[in-house]
Chains A and B, each alone.
Chain A
Amino acid sequence: MLKMTHLSKVYRTEVVETYALRDFNIDVKEGEFVAVTGPSGSGKTTFLTIAGLLETFTGGEYHLDGIEVSNLNDNARSKIRNEKIGFIFQAFNLIPDLNVFDNIEVPLRYRGMKAAERKQRIMESLERVGLASRAKHYPAELSGGQQQRVAIARALAGSPRLLLADEPTGNLDTQMARGVLELLEEIHRDGATIVMVTHDPELAARAQRNVHIIDGQVVELSEDPRFHSVHAVADGAHG
Chain B
Amino acid sequence: MQIRPILAAMRHHKAGTVLIALQIALTLAIVCNALFIIQQRITRMSRPSGVSESNLFVIRSDWADKSDTQRIDAQMQADLIALRQLGSVQDAASTNSFPLRGTGWDNYIKLQPDQPRMTTDSAIFFSDDHTLATLGTRLIEGRNFTASEVAAQKPRDAMHAAQVIISKDLARRLFPQGSALGKTIYVSMGQAPSTVIGVTDTLQAHMTGSWAGPYAYNAVLIPARLLNDYTYYLVRAKPGQLEAAMRDAPKALFAQSRMRIIDHKDGVMSFAQVRQRAYERDVGMAILMGIISVVLLAITAAGIVGLTSFWVGQRRKQIGVRRALGATRGDILSYFLTENLLIGIGGVLAGAVLAIGINLWMVTQFEMARLSLAYVVAGVAALLVLGQGAVLAPALRASRVSPVEATRSV
Residues of A within 8 A of B (CB): 45, 48-49, 52-55, 74-75, 78-79, 81-83, 87, 89-91, 93, 95-99, 102, 105-107, 109-111, 154, 158, 166
Contacts and interface: CB of A to CB of B under 8 A. Distances in A.
A96 B12 contact: yes
Interface stretch (B77-85, B121-129, B139-147, B315-323): B315-323
Interface string B326-348: 11111100000000000000000
Given A54-B403, A55-B403, A109-B5, 17 more contacts: A45-B407, A49-B404, A54-B402, A54-B407, A78-B323, A78-B327, A78-B328, A78-B331, A79-B326, A81-B323, A81-B325, A95-B321, A96-B12, A97-B11, A98-B9, A110-B328, A166-B407
Contacts of B330: 75
B365 interface: no
A55 B404 contact: yes
A83 B12 contact: no
25 contacts: A54-B324, A54-B403, A55-B403, A55-B404, A75-B330, A78-B329, A78-B403, A79-B326, A81-B324, A82-B326, A83-B326, A87-B325, A91-B409, A93-B324, A93-B406, A95-B318, A95-B322, A96-B318, A98-B5, A98-B9, A102-B4, A106-B325, A107-B326, A110-B325, A111-B326
A89 B323 CA distance: 14
B43 interface: no
A11 B378 CA distance: 52
A134 B331 CA distance: 28
Contacts of B12: 96-97
Nearest to B4: A102
A106 B404 contact: no
A75 B399 CA distance: 12
B46 interface: no
Contacts of B13: 97
A81 B329 CA distance: 13
A107 B407 contact: no
B2 interface: yes
B255 interface: no
A8 B102 CA distance: 84
Contact of B8 (A45, A102, A110, A111): A102
A46 to B, nearest CB: 9
Q: How large is the interface on B (under 10, 10 to 19, 20 to 34, 35 or more residues)?
A: 20 to 34
Contacts of B322: 95, 106, 110
B197 to A, nearest CB: 82
Contact of A97 (B9, B327, B331): B9
Chain B interface main SS type? helix
A196 B328 CA distance: 25
Given A102-B8, A105-B5, A109-B2, A48 B407 contact: yes
Contact of B328 (A55, A74, A90, A154): A74
Contacts of A107: 325-326
B406 to A, nearest CB: 6
Contacts of A96: 12, 318
Contact of B9 (A53, A81, A87, A95): A95
A158 B325 CA distance: 10
A87 B406 contact: yes
B120 to A, nearest CB: 67
A154 B406 contact: no
A111 B277 CA distance: 66
A19 B183 CA distance: 105
Contacts of A81: 323-326, 403
A81 to B, nearest CB: 5
Contacts of B406: 54, 87, 89, 93
Contact of A110 (B9, B317, B327): B327
Nearest to A75: B328
Nearest to B318: A95
Interface in B1-41: 2, 4-5, 8-9, 11-13
A76 B330 CA distance: 12
Contacts of B404: 49, 54-55
A54 B402 CA distance: 7
A75 to B, nearest CB: 5
A96 B322 CA distance: 12
A47 to B, nearest CB: 11
B313 to A, nearest CB: 15
Contacts of A106: 5, 322, 325, 327
B5 A154 contact: no
Contact of A74 (B321, B324, B329, B409): B329
A216 to B, nearest CB: 17
**Among A54, A82, A98, which residue has the most Cβ atoms of chain B within 10 A?**
A54
Nearest to B317: A93
Interface string B369-410: 000000000000000000000000000000000111011010
Nearest to A106: B325
Given A45-B407, A81-B324, A106-B322, A99 B8 contact: yes
